[in-house]
């Protein structure tokens, strides 16, 4: 995912990529994502603006990962903007100060004068835009803490006491 700056035409260069399995694996499998049932594409454009190179576009796809409550697979639609300006190495901080007042979701990344490398950026973008604990359905009942049954599917008969952690902390205080 390296682009030669000299080869970016005046009208810009379109980037249309489907992320391959090894890439998804490296970026996402540690987060529990089922890489074989996920697909992500990058559609963006590189434009030269003086010494800077501007990348605009989005990362879009479907990700399959476990429900945060019952661990059944959930398919998530992901659409995340890509908004990055590559500036010559060493000028990132100046640029950030100038622009931060204008655009908050603006990212600044260095380039070496020769190439734009976007792989790391795409990885970070993916990870940051994944939901922390997705649910397979609204009100997923999760797993029984006694026997481990999926409480959406079976009624194992165990009653789950919803203990407010603040209350249990209080009762411990009273005992001591």
Residues that bind Zn ion (CB under 5 A): 67, 69-70, 136, 140, 144, 146-147, 149, 156, 158
* Crossing angle of helices 21-28 and 119-129, rounded to 10°: 60
Distant-in-sequence, close-in-space partners of 172: CB < 8 Å, separation ≥ 6: none
* Closer CB to Zn ion, 59 or 143, in the complex: 143
Q: How far apart are CA 100 and CA 103, in angstroms?
A: 5
Are the C-beta atoms of residues 122 and 1 closer than 8 Å to each other? yes
Grouping H, G, I as helix, E, B as strand and the rest as coil, residue 59 is strand
Q: What is the 3-state secondary structure (H, E, C) of 65-94?
A: EECCCCCCEEEEEEEEEEEEEEEECCCHHH
Answer for the pair 85, 55: CB distance below 8 angstroms, yes or no.
yes
Q: Which CB, 42 or 144, lies closer to Zn ion?
A: 144
Q: How far is the CB of 37 from Zn ion (least distance, A)?
A: 16
Nearer residue to Zn ion within complex by CB, 4 or 158: 158
State in angstroms the smallest separation of the CB of 88 from Zn ion. 48
CB of 31 to Zn ion, least distance (A): 17
Between the alpha carbon of residue 173 and those of residues 3, 64, 164, 166, 176, the distances in Å are 61, 43, 14, 11, 5
Closest approach of Zn ion to the CB of residue 74, in Å:
7
Comparing CB distances to Zn ion, the nearer of 88 and 134 is: 134
CB of 165 to Zn ion, least distance (A): 21
Q: Which is nearer to Zn ion, 76 or 149 (CB)?
A: 149
């Amino acid at each position: 995912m390296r682009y030669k700056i000299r080869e970016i035409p005046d009208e810009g260069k379109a980037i249309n990529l489907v992320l391959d399995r090894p890439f998804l694996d490296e970026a996402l499998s540690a987060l529990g994502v089922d890489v074989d049932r996920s697909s992500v594409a990058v559609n963006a454009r590189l434009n030269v603006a003086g010494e800077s190179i501007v990348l605009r576009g989005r990362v879009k796809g479907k990700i399959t990962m476990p429900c945060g409550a019952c661990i059944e697979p959930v398919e998530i639609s992901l659409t995340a903007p890509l908004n990055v300006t590559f500036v010559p190495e060493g000028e990132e901080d100046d640029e950030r100060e100038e622009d931060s007042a204008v655009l908050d979701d603006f990212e600044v990344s260095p380039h070496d004068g020769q190439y734009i490398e976007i792989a790391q950026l795409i990885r970070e973008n993916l990870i940051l835009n994944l939901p922390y604990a997705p649910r397979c359905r609204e009100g997923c009942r999760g797993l029984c803490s006694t026997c481990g049954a999926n409480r959406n599917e079976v009624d194992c008969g165990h009653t789950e006491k919803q203990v407010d952690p603040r209350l249990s902390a209080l009762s411990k205080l009273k005992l001591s």
